[in-house]
Protein backbone atom coordinates (compact mmCIF):
# COMPACT_ATOMS: atom_id res chain seq x y z
CA UNK A 1 0.00 0.00 0.00
CA UNK A 2 1.29 3.47 -0.84
CA UNK A 3 0.60 4.73 2.70
CA UNK A 4 2.96 2.04 4.05
CA UNK A 5 5.67 3.11 1.62
CA UNK A 6 5.33 6.79 2.54
CA UNK A 7 5.51 5.92 6.23
CA UNK A 8 8.40 3.45 5.93
CA UNK A 9 10.49 5.85 3.84
CA UNK A 10 9.58 8.74 6.16
CA UNK A 11 8.54 10.87 3.23
CA UNK A 12 6.97 14.19 4.12
CA UNK A 13 4.23 13.80 1.56
CA UNK A 14 0.49 13.98 2.11
CA UNK A 15 -1.52 11.12 0.67
CA UNK A 16 -4.58 12.35 -1.20
CA UNK A 17 -7.08 9.79 -2.49
CA UNK A 18 -9.39 10.65 -5.36
CA UNK A 19 -12.29 8.24 -5.82
CA UNK A 20 -13.88 8.34 -9.25
CA UNK A 21 -16.63 5.83 -8.53
CA UNK A 22 -17.58 6.72 -4.96
CA UNK A 23 -20.90 8.39 -5.67
CA UNK A 24 -23.62 6.09 -4.42
CA UNK A 25 -21.08 3.66 -2.93
CA UNK A 26 -20.76 4.86 0.66
CA UNK A 27 -19.46 1.44 1.77
CA UNK A 28 -16.53 1.80 -0.61
CA UNK A 29 -15.43 4.99 1.14
CA UNK A 30 -15.31 3.25 4.52
CA UNK A 31 -12.77 0.67 3.34
CA UNK A 32 -9.51 0.55 5.29
CA UNK A 33 -7.26 1.62 2.43
CA UNK A 34 -8.87 5.09 2.39
CA UNK A 35 -8.57 5.57 6.17
CA UNK A 36 -4.89 6.57 6.00
CA UNK A 37 -5.37 9.23 3.34
CA UNK A 38 -4.75 12.77 4.51
CA UNK A 39 -7.51 13.96 2.18
CA UNK A 40 -10.24 12.12 0.34
CA UNK A 41 -12.07 13.50 -2.68
CA UNK A 42 -15.09 11.84 -4.25
CA UNK A 43 -16.16 12.97 -7.70
CA UNK A 44 -19.69 13.12 -8.99
CA UNK A 45 -20.48 12.71 -12.62
CA UNK A 46 -19.61 10.41 -15.46
CA UNK A 47 -16.50 8.43 -14.44
CA UNK A 48 -15.02 8.32 -17.94
CA UNK A 49 -15.30 12.11 -18.31
CA UNK A 50 -13.60 12.68 -14.95
CA UNK A 51 -10.78 10.26 -15.83
CA UNK A 52 -10.25 11.97 -19.17
CA UNK A 53 -10.04 15.36 -17.44
CA UNK A 54 -7.30 14.05 -15.11
CA UNK A 55 -5.17 12.52 -17.88
CA UNK A 56 -6.32 12.00 -21.46
CA UNK A 57 -4.21 8.81 -21.73
CA UNK A 58 -5.65 7.20 -18.58
CA UNK A 59 -8.06 4.39 -19.40
CA UNK A 60 -9.43 3.78 -15.91
CA UNK A 61 -6.90 1.22 -14.67
CA UNK A 62 -6.52 1.62 -10.91
CA UNK A 63 -4.81 2.44 -8.77
CA UNK A 64 -3.60 5.39 -10.78
CA UNK A 65 -1.01 7.40 -8.85
CA UNK A 66 0.10 10.94 -9.59
CA UNK A 67 3.16 12.19 -7.72
CA UNK A 68 3.05 15.95 -7.39
CA UNK A 69 5.75 18.36 -6.32
CA UNK A 70 5.88 22.14 -6.27
CA UNK A 71 7.42 23.39 -9.49
CA UNK A 72 7.74 19.88 -10.96
CA UNK A 73 5.91 18.06 -13.69
CA UNK A 74 3.48 15.41 -12.39
CA UNK A 75 4.65 11.80 -12.48
CA UNK A 76 1.86 9.40 -13.57
CA UNK A 77 2.07 5.75 -12.49
CA UNK A 78 -0.42 2.92 -12.91
CA UNK A 79 -0.33 0.75 -9.78
CA UNK A 80 2.00 1.14 -6.83
CA UNK A 81 4.99 3.26 -7.87
CA UNK A 82 8.25 1.28 -7.88
CA UNK A 83 10.74 2.18 -5.13
CA UNK A 84 13.07 3.72 -7.71
CA UNK A 85 10.35 6.11 -8.90
CA UNK A 86 9.47 7.11 -5.33
CA UNK A 87 13.13 7.64 -4.50
CA UNK A 88 13.68 9.78 -7.59
CA UNK A 89 10.56 11.80 -6.81
CA UNK A 90 11.51 12.24 -3.14
CA UNK A 91 15.04 13.39 -4.01
CA UNK A 92 13.98 15.90 -6.70
CA UNK A 93 14.08 19.52 -5.70
pLDDT in tens, 14-49: 888 887 766 666 677 677 878 888 988 887 777 777
pLDDT tens profile 40-81: 888 777 777 777 777 787 776 777 888 998 888 999 888 888
Alpha helices (H) in 10-46, listed in sequence order: 26-29, 32-35
CA distance linking residue 31 with residue 23, whole number of Å = 14
Q: Is the pLDDT of residue 93 over 70?
A: no
Query: C-alpha 39: how far from its chain's center?
Result: 11
Amino acid sequence: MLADTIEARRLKAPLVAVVMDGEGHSGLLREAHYARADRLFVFRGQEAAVRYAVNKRWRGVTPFVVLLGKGRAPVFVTGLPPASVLESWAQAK
